Structure formats: C-alpha cells, structure tokens
Amino acid sequence: MHTAVATAKVWIASEWQDSDAEGVFEPENPATGEKLGREFPVSRWSDCDRALTAALEAARELETTPAEKIAAFLEAYATELEADADAIVQAAHEETALPASPRLKDVELPRTTDQLRQAAAAARQGTWRRPIIDHGKNLRSCYAPIGPVVVFGPNNFPFAFNGVSGGDFAAAIAAGNPVIAKAHPLHAYTSQRMAEAAARALRSTGLPPATVQMIYKLNHENGARLVSDPRVGAAGFTGSKGAGLKLKEAADAAGKPIYLEMSSLNPVIFLPEGMKENAQQWARELADSCTLGSGQFCTRPNLAMAIAGAATETFMQELTSAIASREPHALLSSSTRDQLDESIQALQHAGATLLTGGTKVPGKGYRYASTLLQVSGRDFIAAAHELQREAFGNEVMAIIAADEEELLRVLDHLEGQLTGTVYSSLSGADDTMYNRLEPVLRRKVGRLLNDKMPTGVAVSPAMNHGGPYPATGHPGFTAVGIPTSIARFTALQSYDNVRPERLPAILRDQG
C-alpha cells in the first residue's frame, strides 16, 4: 500500500502554491538509501513565468525601499533560522548524510546566519554603491540593483550556498534585488523549511513578499530559459561544470550576466626541502583535508604535486596508508557516487595509476572508498585536459614531477582554479623554487595559500572564492566575501546634469 503524500508547494508570488508540475521527485536519505516520505514538484515553465513577473514587481518596489528595511529582513531571517535550527539541521542531515554536529549545526548554519548578518551590515553601510560625485561636470555615479536574480544552489552546502539562504542569496538581497531560488533537489525539504523562515522574516519586516521565491527542480531547457529571460537581472550558479556551462551559454546569448562557480581541483604543491622535513605530517594533513566531508567541498584538494625523490616516496607511502585507513562516509546521493566512480575510471583511462580505493563500498549508504591516484609529470602533461577532470568526492591525485622544470610545465598546463597552495620549508631552503613557481600558479588561481589546506572558505572581505575559467566564468568576481561579492548583482548608473531633487539620496550634495 502506498500512502498518499501531498506534493510540496512552490513559493511564488508571495504564496505557497501548487506547482504546475511536469513530474515529482521523492528525496531519499543517502546514508540509508531509503525514501524520506516527501514528494516535491518539478516545475513547468509557467511556474518560472509567474515567479519572474512577481520578481520584477518586487524589484521595482525594492528600488524605493530603505536599505535599513532590507538589512532588517536579513537579520530577522538569520534569527528565524536560528529559532528553527534543530528542525533545519535534522532535515539537512537526513537529506545529505552530512553530520548534524559539528558540520551542520555548529559550522555551516552559524556560517550562514553570520553571512546574512554581514550582508545586512553591508546593506546598511551601502559601501557597495561606491558613489562618485564630479561637481565640475555635474556628473554623478553609483551602483544600483541589477534586477531579479536567479540563484541555483549546489548539492554540497544545504545552508551556506543554498539558493534561498546562501552567499549568492545574501549578496543579491543586500543590493536590493529579489531572488528566485532554485533549491537543490537533494535537500528540497531543508530548503522548504528555510524558505518558510524567510517568509516569516519578510512578513515581520514588511518587505515585498516576492522578494524571495523558490522552486525545487526544472528541466535543463527551462533552466536555460530562466537565466536568459528578459525580466532577469543576473544569475548565480554553484555546481557542476556541465550544468554550469549550459546555463552560461544561454545567459551569454541573451546578454545576461551569470556568475558561475563550477569546478576546481585546488592543487597543493609540496616543495622538496620541506618535504624532507615534513613528509609524514604533510601526507596526513592532505589525507585529512581531501577526505573531510567525503571531499565534497568546492575547495578540497583534488591534486597534489611533488618532485620525485626519497622524501616524496615516504610522503606517498604515508598518504596511501592514511587515505586507505579513512572510513568512507555516505556521499550526497547515488549519482554523486556514480559520477565519482566514472571520473576515477576516466582518470585511470587517461593515464593515472590507482594506489588505493577506486571502488564503491557495498552496504548501506552511497559510499565510495577513499581514493588515491598517481601520475607522472610527463604523463600529466601528455593528457592534461583529461587528467583535470573533476572527481567530486573523497579522491586525490598525486602528480610526481621528475624535477623542477617538469613541475613548472605541469603548472603551465593547469586550468583555472579556485585555489592553489604551496607547502615549503620554513627554513627558506625552498624559497628559490617558490619564487619561480609562484607567478605561474598565481595567474591560475583565485586564492593562493601557504602552509595550510584550502578546504575552509572564510567569510571575509578579503576572501576570493573565485578564479579564472573554468573555475568560474569571470576572474574579477568572488562568490564569498562581503561586500565584494555584492558587486556581481549591481549595475553602474550615471546621472548627468540631473536636477538635484531628482537624484538618489546617495548622490545629492550634502548640507
């Protein structure tokens, strides 16, 4: 007997309403493989169409809404999330198999509410508007909201990058743009629960209710149509390169800005003199970092690089045993596991050697053995594109270069990355090599690190969670770090000889 389950409602034009659905999906618990007893709609275009019309109206209302009110909403939303934290964490834990504590409850949710509050402060301060007044020419400029923003959240952060609560959301709202969130289907109920908190905050602070809207799932064609619709101001996307590039193509063709955070291997380079001192410790740090959260972070290290030698052999032995000993946890979904497996097969096919792992783990939950691959610098260079295929999950590939020159050539073949890291001797004995490698690496990465793993992404004004293509679509923008991330969702506007009383307040003469 099948118990009838009500399909969840989409949140459009201020109302939780029935979706014009072309289908439904039922989320499961990836730790058990069991259905969670909930049903969510796959929206047809008409859902998007209604959301876009409502968003455009909200955008117009927000243009004259005081920044203080927008800030108040962001803060009220953070408070609402905290008030419902237990239920939200439980929902996310069931849907993602990520640990309820510390990961979801003590790290990701506080990070998310902190981000909303930082966005509130930025909205209030208004530094993102960067007003310029040229009295001599009676010409003034500032940045203004870009219009309705569509945010596609990823599978791996149910809170901090969620379309209805994460970094893109916070940045878009802070600049006075309404958001149409496309929740990730892998944490649909979590998203619904968060959206309900957003709805309460909208009501209590009196913002236009269609400032936030949410749908759960779309087919590819409607996704492409959504980011290229004339009513849209811009889009933000975090996810796979395949899905991101399809959206990019559609948005680009329509002249709509789209900010993508797609894929990154986050190379970590271990220099030889330091390797002699720290081979075992570095191996353990790397193993910890690339298996943390089953490696399901945008900035977990997927590539390690070192120069051949005795110390590097010690490092590789320790790394192999450390990774082999890591108990694999459930991945986010069966398809996450299948794609990881496919990528690991493809990397071997392209020339990498399997040192440990490389198999699905039988039994409950979608688990994969933590995996280490190895390839020589020469072989990497020979198939550099194929060997830079992303394997999203608990996997790392070591590139062992014959010498410094080969390591430099490996870096020359590196595609754009979010991060790049160099570990080196504290004695200064690696500094000559560092100075040769650094400029090459620097140009390829958004964030350059020394002596620490790249996995954490601090919410700081100095953060760059961005980088050259294909890590993102444009190296001038960051997805994390307020107020810099707000710039993505703004348009530059000049006022030339506009009469004083008609100027926006921020551009009027003082006093």
Residue ranges that bind a copy of itself, judged by CB under 8 A: 60, 63, 132-134, 137, 139-141, 143-144, 146-147, 248-249, 252-257, 416, 419, 434, 438-439, 442-443, 446-452, 454, 458, 460-464, 466, 468-470, 473-478, 481, 484, 487-488, 490-499, 502
Q: Is-catalytic flag, 48? A: no
Q: Tell me the CA end-to-end span of the chain in Å, nearest whole number.
A: 74
Please state the closest distance from residue 220 (CB atom) to a copy of itself, in A: 18
Strand order in the sheet with 10-12: 15-17, 10-12, 212-215, 179-182, 149-152, 234-238, 258-261
Please state the closest distance from residue 415 (CB atom) to a copy of itself, in A: 9
395 vs 303: CA distance, rounded Å: 9
3 state DSSP class of 23: strand
- Measured from the CB atom, the residue of 203 and 452 that comes closer to a copy of itself is 452
Q: Which of 95, 261, 285, 390 is catalytic?
A: 261
276 vs 396: CA distance, rounded Å: 21
- Measured from the CB atom, the residue of 156 and 485 that comes closer to a copy of itself is 485
451 vs 275: CA distance, rounded Å: 12
Contact (CB, 8 A) for 346 and 369: no
Contact (CB, 8 A) for 294 and 328: yes
- Measured from the CB atom, the residue of 359 and 494 that comes closer to a copy of itself is 494
376 vs 22: CA distance, rounded Å: 49
- Measured from the CB atom, the residue of 35 and 442 that comes closer to a copy of itself is 442
Q: Is-catalytic flag, 298? A: yes
401 vs 309: CA distance, rounded Å: 10
- Measured from the CB atom, the residue of 6 and 462 that comes closer to a copy of itself is 462
- Measured from the CB atom, the residue of 12 and 146 that comes closer to a copy of itself is 146
Q: Which of 108, 142, 298, 406 is catalytic?
A: 298
- Whose tokens are 């923008």? That residue is 477
Closest CA to 414 of 455, 382, 444, 437: 444
337 vs 31: CA distance, rounded Å: 12
Contact (CB, 8 A) for 78 and 115: no
Taking each helix axis from N to C end, the angle separating 109-125 and 167-174, rounded to the nearest 10 degrees, works out to: 20
Phi-psi region of 490 (alpha: psi -120 to 50; beta: other; left: phi over 0): beta
Please state the closest distance from residue 33 (CB atom) to a copy of itself, in A: 37
Joined together, the tokens standing for residue 357 give 């792992």
Catalytic residue positions?
A: 261, 298
